[in-house]
Amino acid sequence: MKQRVFSGARPTGRQHIGNYLGAIQNYVALQEEHDCIYCIVDIHALTTLESTDRLQHDIHEMMLDWLAAGLDPEKSILFVQSHVSEVMELHTLLSMVTPLGWLLRVPTFKEKARMQPHNVNYGLVGYPVLMTADIVLYKAELVPVGEDQLPHLELAREIARRFNSLFGFTFPEPQAKLTCFPLVLGLNGAQKMGKSYNNYIELAATPEETLKLVMTAVTDPARKYRSDPGHPEICNVFRLHHFFNPARVDEIAAECRSAGIGCVDCKKLLAEGINSTLASFRERRASFAAKPRYVTEVLADGAHKATTIAKKTLAEVKEKMGLLPPVSCRIQP
């Protein structure tokens, strides 16, 4: 039997090249040999959102990117977390076997509490319990995530282990599957590429927008004049050539070191590489976007398939936790 993979991502709207290289590409590859379930975690998003005005829009845009990048609803289950409400029931049940001390120690909880002191909500504390429910509801064994999620995954394993020891074996302990892609830095070269830093290039950007954004990227700070030799090993633009101009990296590095090309030339090459790599993605995206109900249909189908699995697990959990009457007293449907 194929191993089951589950991963979730917050609804951040249009995806950028950091999301693509770090996560989406990996999701797509896993579809071939695993039984994959990918989820847009809208309930998790509520733990930090100030406003939900853009939530539906962001889910739609993100799904268009996922589909255009090659996530295939024929191969994988693609759905929105809140569409399968069983996860909220399982979250409540798992919360009974999760010591509060475990949750208060999670580094992301402490960080979020510091970042939004006006809104340290109960959901924020339970975030890893909901994440555990996401994973174990489908009895997933592998969870592709970035390194930042490892403490959450560790907790998921502990909660699964504890449930199993209290109520009998039910959940496989989920393993993190780290993406082996190096960190993708943002255009300013300072932090990782991310929506919150405004240093990103959207996959769906036009070729012109892409060129304009790439032109703003920070390069080797020691290279002040066109005639100065560059240091590709410390240049973020050069790093991106590995992904978007893989056949030309040696040539570009040599030209940079000898000042044969300047940073402007180098950025033009990068924009060309990004635009040609993403050309078919952009075409597919436009064709999906032209069918306004397509995303809704994919998500409805995904929720339907996910619900079938979820109901089975939840019934098993309720039975084991003693929440169902003895078999002889049950009313058969």
Interface residues toward ligand TRP, by CB under 6 A:
6-10, 41, 44, 131, 134-135, 143, 145, 149, 152
Q: How far is the CB of 108 from ligand TRP (least distance, A)?
A: 8
- Give me the DSSP letters along 221-260: TT--STTSPP-GGG-HHHHHHHHHSGGGHHHHHHHHHTTS
Q: How far is the CB of 121 from ligand TRP (least distance, A)?
A: 16
106/252 with CB nearer ligand TRP: 106
Q: How far is the CB of 30 from ligand TRP (least distance, A)?
A: 13
177/267 with CB nearer ligand TRP: 177
Q: Is 329 left (phi over 0), alpha (psi -120 to 50) or beta?
A: alpha
44/267 with CB nearer ligand TRP: 44
- Judge whether 8 and 143 are in contact, CB under 8 Å: no
- Judge whether 67 and 37 are in contact, CB under 8 Å: no
Angle between helices 263-289 and 207-215 (to 10 degrees): 150
41/240 with CB nearer ligand TRP: 41
Q: How far is the CB of 128 from ligand TRP (least distance, A)?
A: 8
Q: How far is the CB of 41 from ligand TRP (least distance, A)?
A: 4
109/238 with CB nearer ligand TRP: 109
Query: What's the CA dihedral at 312, 315, 320, 326 to 10 degrees?
Result: -130
41/256 with CB nearer ligand TRP: 41
- Give me the DSSP letters along 146-189: -GGGHHHHHHHHHHHHHHHHHH-S--PPPEEEE--PPP-B-TTS
What is the CB neighbour count within 10 angstroms for residue 326?
Answer: 6
Q: How far is the CB of 182 from ligand TRP (least distance, A)?
A: 19
For ligand TRP, which residue has the nearest CB? Answer: 8
